[in-house]
Amino acid sequence: MSLEHGLYSIKAKHNAYSVGRYIVEDRSLLPKRVLGLSEDAIGGRPPVWEIEKTDDDKYIMKALGSPVGILHGKLFAFLIDMDEQQPTHWVLKAHTQHGEDVYSIENASGEGWTVTDEEDSQIEISPVDGAPTQLFEVKSVTD
């Protein structure tokens, strides 16, 4: 099941944390952390992602308008384009046995987004092994 270009919310299936950037960030152009945010942190307003399908059936995923990628084994949003800060083209693999809108979000090397149990902690990138911490509900916000 593929997604169309559009606006989505992403929530960790494991602990229901919303995935996104924290509402308060420094004003630098440094990469911004992408977090598993608790209900208190989002204040009832889940982060909205732009998901753009590429020609090769992969996706560029944008948090607050900035594409996300991997830096030091963690998920970051890149505000500026630099060699070591390239957005990742993600593969969204459906896990329909866990729900209609449930996916693992992986790179071409088989590493994927992984949420931790700690509130408001950064999304880690680790080898995909089918763990519940690597499953995310990706739902259109226009439905």
pLDDT digits (tens, 9 = 90+) for 81-95: 876 677 899 999 999
Check: CB of residue 76 under 8 Å from CB of residue 69: yes
CATH of 6-140, one of 2.80.10.50, 3.40.50.2020, 3.40.50.970, 1.20.210.10: 2.80.10.50
Q: What is the residue whose two structure tokens read 């995923």?
A: 61
Domain residue ranges of the chain, discontinuous segments joined by +: 6-140
pLDDT band for position 28 (50/70/90)? very high
DSSP symbols for 54-85: -TTS-EEEEETTEEEEEETTEEEE-SS-BTTB
Taking residues 34-42, report their average pLDDT: 93
Report percent pLDDT > 90 for the chain: 83
For residue 135 the two structure tokens come to: 């499953």
Instruction: State the pTM of this model.
Output: 0.94
pLDDT band for position 24 (50/70/90)? confident
Phi, psi of 19 (to 5 degrees): -100, 130
Strand partners, 139: 9
DSSP symbols for 14-65: TT-PEEE--SS--SSSS-EE-EEE-HHHHTT----EEEEE-TTS-EEEEETT
Whole-angstrom distance, CA of residue 129 vs CA of residue 22 = 27
Long-range (24+ apart) CB contacts under 8 A made by 129-133 are: 130/104, 132/13, 132/14, 133/12, 133/14
For residue 106 the two structure tokens come to: 């992986």
